[in-house]
Amino acid sequence: MDDAEGARGAAARRSGATEDERLFSLPLAPTPARPGPTPDTWRVLRILGEFVEGFDTLADLPPGVTIFGSARTTPDDPSYAAASETARLLAQAGFAVITGGGPGIMEAANKGAQAGGGESVGLNIELPFEQGTNAYVDTAVHFRYFFVRKTMFVKYSVGFIVFPGGFGTLDELFEALTLIQTEKIKHFPLVLVGRAYWSGLVSWLRETAARERKIEPKDLDIFTVTDDPAEAVEVVTRARATLLAIAEKNEQARSGHGLW
């Protein structure tokens, strides 16, 4: 989801630096020795607090699916309707729908989740330009740090569905691809919705990255590309069934009745 891109339109710029900006800034001149903790030391406590708030707020969610996509997408864009329908089907299938909580595709997905009678979650982020939480979010968590927020997207999702977007969307897409490729997360479906939009990227991955062995050809099987909301939901539904079967086997093994 392109929070930063979407915020650069008519939204007003907030005063001062964001917490992410402060965290990644180094002093340009040497600073005098400090007798006590540095600002970065205290910042660790704020980061810890964000993790605690996120874990506490989201702990009781049903299995979730995170939907990413551009904050610039308007309601008359076909992707908006597709995201809303995808979220509606997810909600009816018993998934929580998680987004970045902002406008565009995020708004469409939260709207669809409400229409489907499901949990509609928005994980918003502090940006240089003001961005409010959309009107269709039922459970909202506000973050200062991107990396804390990204952890929540993965931890409380059993899959990602990615609609057309820019740098923010691509960042989240490739982080997920990396986590799956390195087996940090397993049985985690990744669906790209919009064949025409994603075809150039997929061709480059196949014809350049894979051909030059920068990735393995099998890595192209990590994701599914579709134009059909129902197919996207079916992919994550199958993955949920796999995870539930694994959890059941693990429980049987712990009780002494399993196959493992």
Query: What is the rounded average pLDDT for all residues in the chain?
Result: 87
What is the predicted pLDDT for the residue at 123? 97
What's the residue count for the chain?
260
| Average pLDDT for 167-178 | 96
Give the model confidence (pLDDT) of 102-157 as tens digits: 999 999 999 999 999 999 999 999 887 657 899 999 999 999 999 999 999 999 99
Taking 60 as the threshold, does the pLDDT of residue 24 lie above it?
no
**DSSP letter, residue 28:** S
**pLDDT of 50-91, one tens digit each?**
999 999 999 999 999 999 999 999 999 999 999 999 999 999
Q: What is the pLDDT of residue 193?
A: 98
Rounded to two decimals, the pTM is: 0.83
Domain 49-253, CATH number (from 3.40.50.2300, 3.30.70.240, 3.30.70.270, 3.40.50.450): 3.40.50.450
Q: How far are the Cα atoms of 2, 18, 104, 139 from residue 101, in angstroms, in the given order?
A: 11, 18, 10, 9
In percent, the amount of the chain with pLDDT more than 90 equals 73
* Domain ranges for the chain: 49-253
Taking 60 as the threshold, does the pLDDT of residue 191 lie above it?
yes
Q: How far apart, in whole angstroms, are the C-alpha atoms of residue 22 and residue 7?
A: 19
